[in-house]
Structures are given as structure tokens and as C-alpha cells.
Structure 1
Amino acid sequence: MSFARLGAAMCLAASLAAPAFAQSQIDDPECVAPANPGGGFDLTCRVAQTGLDPHVDAPIQVNFMPGGIGAVAYNLFNTTRTDDGSAIVAFSTGSLLNIVTGKYGAFTEKDVRWVATAGADFGAVVVRADSEYQTLAELMTDFSADPASVVVGAGGSVGSQDWMKGALLLREAGASPMDMRYVAFDGGGDAIAALLGGSIEVYTGDVGEMVPHMESGQMRLLAVMSPERLEAPFADIPTAIEEGFDVEWTIMRGFYMGGDVSDADYQKWVDAFEAAYATEAFAQVQKERGLLPLNMAGEELQTSVEQRVQTLREIATEAGLIQ
């Protein structure tokens, strides 16, 4: 074989071996994390930034827009950025709860376009490494005897999903959620800082947020609020259910866009996520961020969000958060 033919054959073989990704053409792609750095919204955007990298033609920039646990961003993308085809905004089940309870104003779940999910996360009961609480049962004993003796904090106001986690714990302990000493922070990063600084004793956060902190040894997870025990690095942490307490909180993490985004721009993001879902690389990104696969995009997610909002509306009504 001639050198020319050999070279051509090698090039062909290399092209066949290389992974081929269809890339969505999105100008200046952006993911907005509607809180300060370090919390769950930050984590969600990092999944998009890393997991979609092979599937979009430009790097995704992560920008932060704190305020009202997502309210500032939700209002902005329902007013001045309703047709911005370059930006997606991180949301969680907590965001849907805030919509239900009116914390995002008059806008509803029908005013934006739900794009795709980043994965599933779960509630976690977190204390400092030097906390007196070694088990969830010890904490629940204090909640039962004197709820106000324990200072709980998280990245959300009363009625938020992080507050709901604490409220569910108190209810299971036989106490009233309204007796909880709860401190609200604007994002998980601020709440973690408060926990480490001693301002609060218990953080009702999310499992995914804990991944970067697992090796530091500064915090300890008493329990996860998942239906079943999770895989590594959380395999040794019991569920609240295992510990004898019927408390579970599953968190959907994902992204939305303004309601006036064109079908073409919306579909570019949907296509990128669906392409990513089909790869092992995206599953690895989810695992590294402490998320379990929950892969939905486009109309499937739109339908799921509407169903979840209805369920949350029922729960919020039972809790007296809405009439």
C-alpha cells in the first residue's frame, strides 16, 4: 500500500473511532444559578456546563442571580428576558413549591418553558463534624422534647422546600412545624457557612451539595431523605426511613427558559440535553455531583412539572401554607 493510501486509511480509521456529537448552535449559552455560589442551583448549572459541553458549540457560562430563593430570576425571565434563547435557568422542586405558595409573585408554572432535568437529588440532615448529634434518633429526641432547643437553618424561607424538610422531621417527632427555630438563608452556600460558623446546629440541605464537602471532614450527614440508600459516596449513610422515621424528600433539578422563547431556540437546548442523556459521560457527571439519573426534556418534562405542581399544591394546602 502506498504512503498516500496508508495515510488516508489511517485518517478514515481515526474518524470512525472518534465520537461524533451533533452540536446545538447556541449563541453565548448561559446557565443562570438564581442564588449565591455554592448551593444547589450552582450545582445544577455545573451539570449543564460540564455535561452539555460536547453537545453545544460554545462553552456554557454560569452566572449568579441571587434574590428571593429564585424569585428575582423567575420575575426577570417573565418580564425582560422572556424571549432569551441563549439562557437557561436552574430550578428545583423547591422552586415549584415557591411558585405554588406565591413566593414568585403572580407568575405560575405555565409562564415559562421547562427545558430539561439535570437529575434527582434528595434531602439531607446535616450537622457539623463536632456536633453532639451522632444519629438522627438523637436529634429527633430533642425535636420531640423541645423543638425550640435546636436551631435549624437552610437556603429557603418558611414554606420553602428546605423548611418543609425540617417541618416533616418535626411532624414525625410529634411536634408542630411552627415550633421549629428556623433561620432562612439565600442559598445553600450561605447556610453551610452558617453551620460551619456555629450560627445554626442543623442544616436541612440536599445530598448533591455535600459531595464537595465529604472529604473535608467538616460536616456529617445524619441521614438522607431518599426512598432507599444511595450509592457511593453516600452508601454508608442511612436513610431517615431506615432509622425509623417516615420522612422522604426527592428533589427534581432542572432548567427553564422564558415563556416567549422561540420553538427553534427551545428545541436546540432540548436536543443538546437528549444527546447528553444518551452518553455514559453525562451519567458520570450526575454521579460526581451526587445526583441520580432523572432524564426528561421537552414535552415530557413540561407534563411532569405540571403534575408535580399539582401534588405540591395539595401538600402545601395540607400544611396550611396556602388556602
Structure 2
Amino acid sequence: MTLNRMTGAALLAATLALPTLASAEVTSPECIAPAQPGGGFDVTCRVAQTGLADAFGGPMQVTFMPGGIGAVAYNLFNTTRTDDPNAIVAFSTGSLLNIATGKYGDFDENDVRWLGTAGADFGAVIVKADSEYTSLEQLMTDLGNDPSSIVVGAGGSVGSQDWMKAALLVRETGASPMDMRYVAFDGGGDAIAALLGGSIEVYTGDVGEMASHMEAGDMRVLAVMSDERLDGAFAEIPTAKEQGFDVEWTIMRGFYMGKGVSDADYNTWVDAFKAAYATPEFEQVQADKGLLPLNLAGDELKARVDENMATLREIATEAGLIQQ
């Protein structure tokens, strides 16, 4: 009798749980990359598109929404798409830096729901394959002698994370970052095109963006800004540190949703990411895209974002990007 009552209670609990799942309205999953195709946000969305391919019973669409290095998308999801259950938006540590320095307007990190991560990426120093620079040391020597003699470009304006990578390199030489010639592009894809076209000489991008370009052989990665050498396709690329330059930049890549998304829909996505993290297939997707495992979803990601925001505000204040 007791067993029957327990079984009945379990069945009742399961029945009561069904409406929560049924209320989830994720029917047309979409990942928004807030830049032009080809950059880091594109990579981030492709991880979700492949890694969560079976999560919602249909393919995930990738949409590009360039503008303000993520500002257009951030504002959209704080105004007209605050409760869209189908859409997730790619972000990176650079996005958090833009929030910290006020480049996304009046909205801050508490105005969206931080969802899950795609993995960790690292800054990289990239030149054309036929560049005169075959080592980071050669480049750093010229930057130290005259920062304005080399045209550096990346997918972000002054104060962005890509600018910060270049600034850290110049500062490491003893020169002033304010003296370098820096060209800003609206995303990594545009910057790569400019590098290949000869408009810039050095691209301070992300190593993850290079995964699809490694076999083409049209670019050379002089250094990766990680603490240690990476595995797989990037194992032969030396770090800046091992070449004698104490420069490191780690990029967290992930996704957010509008603040008005219901708990049921938000948790449907969180559960989908957590389930994907537990599979070797997702780890393989990360590796294929040049990312290292960094698997955080829901409250864990929110805590990490809060921690990073405090650090970025401190660094940005020291660099004069935030006025006291």
C-alpha cells in the first residue's frame, strides 16, 4: 500500500512537471552573431549551432547583426526582443569590456540573462603569410622603436578588447599605446579581409578565428596570448610569454538572452547547454573551433560574469577608459 502511494506520488510529481516543460516555447532556435560573418562571434554561434544541433528538434539558424561591436544587438534585446524565447546572442570578454566602459549605453550586465558558454579563446598576433615578420620578437622591436610605423587593425574601436591586445603589446615594448597606428573594423571578418588585402600589417585577433584559415596558409600566427601552448592544430604556435613578452589575453565566449525571457524558456536553454557539455561531441566542436573547454551555464555563468566585470572595470579605470 505504501509502495502504491509512493508510486502515485511520483506519477503526480511527474505530471505536475510537464506543464513547465510544455510551456517552453523554443521552437525556432536562433543564434545572433553581432558582427559581420567570419569573426569571433561567428565562431561562437557555430559552436551552438553544431553542439546543440539535436536539442530542439530542428536546425539552429545563425543571423548576423553588425553594429557597434555588439551594441546594436545588446540594445535590441533590451528594447524590442526582451522576451524572445528562441534567440540567443553571442558575447565575449570584449562585450563585457564594452559594457564596463559604457559603450552599450545605459544598459549594464544586469539587463540580460547570461545563458551559457561556448568555450575559451585567446588573443593572437597575426600577419600575412608573406609578411616580413616571421617572429614576435621582430615585430616587437619595430613597435618599440616606432609604434606609428606599423598599421595594426582589429575588430573593435579604441578601448575594445582587440585594441587592448595591441595596446598591451606596445606597452610591453616600453612605448606608449597612444602612439600606435590602429584601424578599427566592425568585427574580425572585416579585419581579416583588410589584413589579406594589405590595408593593415598586423591583426590582433583571436586564435579561434584562425581554425578555418590554418590549412589555407594565407596567414601566420606569430604568438598566442595564452599562459601555455594550446593543443591540437595550434600546438606549434608559441605563446607571447615563451618568447619573452608578458602579454596574456583570455576570451570567454558565450551567450545571453533578453531579460524578459521566462524562467521556463531560459531553463530549457540552460539544460540544453548542460546536457551538451557532458558529451564528447561538444568537446570536439570546441576543439574544431579552436576553443578550450570552459563550460558554465545559468547561475555559474552569471557569477563568472559578475567577477569579470569587477576586474574589467578596474583595468579600464587604470587605462583611463573610465573616468572617475
Q: TM-score, normalised by structure 2?
A: 0.92
Would the aligned equivalents of 2:25 and 2:86 in 1 still touch at CA under 8 Å?
A: no
Corresponding position of 1:189:
189
Map 1:282-293; keep pairs closer than 5 Å: 282-293=282-293
Q: Provide the rounded CA distance (Å) in 2 between the counterparts of 1:112 and 1:38.
A: 25
Q: Provide the rounded CA distance (Å) in 1 between the counterparts of 2:29 and 2:213.
A: 29
Corresponding position of 2:65:
65
Corresponding position of 1:141:
141
Q: Provide the rounded CA distance (Å) in 2 between the counterparts of 1:56 and 1:117.
A: 18
Corresponding position of 1:312:
312
Corresponding position of 1:161:
161
Deviations 1:76-114 (A, max 9, x none): 000000111110000000000000011100100000000
Deviations 1:5-61 (A, max 9, x none): xxxxxxxxxxxxxxxxx9986211100000000000011000000000122222110
Q: Provide the rounded CA distance (Å) in 2 between the counterparts of 1:123 and 1:114.
A: 23
Q: Which amino acid aligns with 1:247?
A: V
Q: Which amino acid aligns with 2:151?
A: V
Corresponding position of 1:253:
253
Deviations 1:151-209 (A, max 9, x none): 00000000000000000000101011111100000000000000000000000000000
- How many residue pairs are counted as aligned between the two chains? 302
Would the aligned equivalents of 1:26 and 1:58 in 2 still touch at CA under 8 Å?
A: no
Would the aligned equivalents of 2:31 and 2:61 in 1 still touch at CA under 8 Å?
A: yes
Would the aligned equivalents of 1:100 and 1:309 in 2 still touch at CA under 8 Å?
A: yes
Would the aligned equivalents of 1:26 and 1:57 in 2 still touch at CA under 8 Å?
A: no
Would the aligned equivalents of 2:40 and 2:208 in 1 still touch at CA under 8 Å?
A: yes
- Which moved further from structure 2: 22-31 or 55-64? 22-31
Q: Which amino acid aligns with 1:319?
A: A
Which blocks of at least 5 consecutive residues in structure 2 are unaligned?
Answer: 1-20
Q: Provide the rounded CA distance (Å) in 1 between the counterparts of 2:74 and 2:188.
A: 18
Would the aligned equivalents of 1:25 and 1:268 in 2 still touch at CA under 8 Å?
A: no
Q: Secondary structure at the match of 2:232?
A: coil
Corresponding position of 2:239:
239
Q: Provide the rounded CA distance (Å) in 2 between the counterparts of 1:31 and 1:301.
A: 18
Shift of 1:275: 0.3
Moved over 3 A (4+): 22-25
Residue 205 (1) aligns with residue 205 (2)? yes
Q: Provide the rounded CA distance (Å) in 2 between the counterparts of 1:232 and 1:274.
A: 24
Q: Which amino acid aligns with 1:51?
A: G
Residue 47 (1) aligns with residue 47 (2)? yes
Would the aligned equivalents of 2:227 and 2:248 in 1 still touch at CA under 8 Å?
A: yes
Would the aligned equivalents of 1:92 and 1:252 in 2 still touch at CA under 8 Å?
A: yes
Residue 174 (1) aligns with residue 174 (2)? yes
Residue 33 (1) aligns with residue 27 (2)? no
Corresponding position of 1:117:
117
Q: Provide the rounded CA distance (Å) in 1 between the counterparts of 2:224 and 2:298.
A: 30
Q: Secondary structure at the match of 1:164?
A: helix
Q: Which amino acid aligns with 2:282?
A: F
Q: Provide the rounded CA distance (Å) in 1 between the counterparts of 2:99 and 2:137.
A: 33
Q: Secondary structure at the match of 1:116?
A: strand
Corresponding position of 1:74:
74
Q: Which amino acid aligns with 1:228?
A: E
Shift of 1:232: 1.6
Q: Provide the rounded CA distance (Å) in 1 between the counterparts of 2:78 and 2:46.
A: 23
Q: Which amino acid aligns with 2:230?
A: L
Would the aligned equivalents of 1:68 and 1:186 in 2 still touch at CA under 8 Å?
A: yes
Q: Secondary structure at the match of 2:91?
A: strand
Q: Secondary structure at the match of 1:54?
A: coil
Q: Provide the rounded CA distance (Å) in 1 between the counterparts of 2:26 and 2:285.
A: 21
- Which moved further from structure 2: 81-90 or 50-59? 50-59
Corresponding position of 1:10:
none
Corresponding position of 1:107:
107
Q: Secondary structure at the match of 1:227?
A: coil
Would the aligned equivalents of 1:25 and 1:57 in 2 still touch at CA under 8 Å?
A: no
Q: Which amino acid aligns with 2:73?
A: A
Q: Provide the rounded CA distance (Å) in 1 between the counterparts of 2:58 and 2:261.
A: 19
Q: Secondary structure at the match of 1:212?
A: coil
Would the aligned equivalents of 2:34 and 2:65 in 1 still touch at CA under 8 Å?
A: yes
Q: Which amino acid aligns with 1:193?
A: A
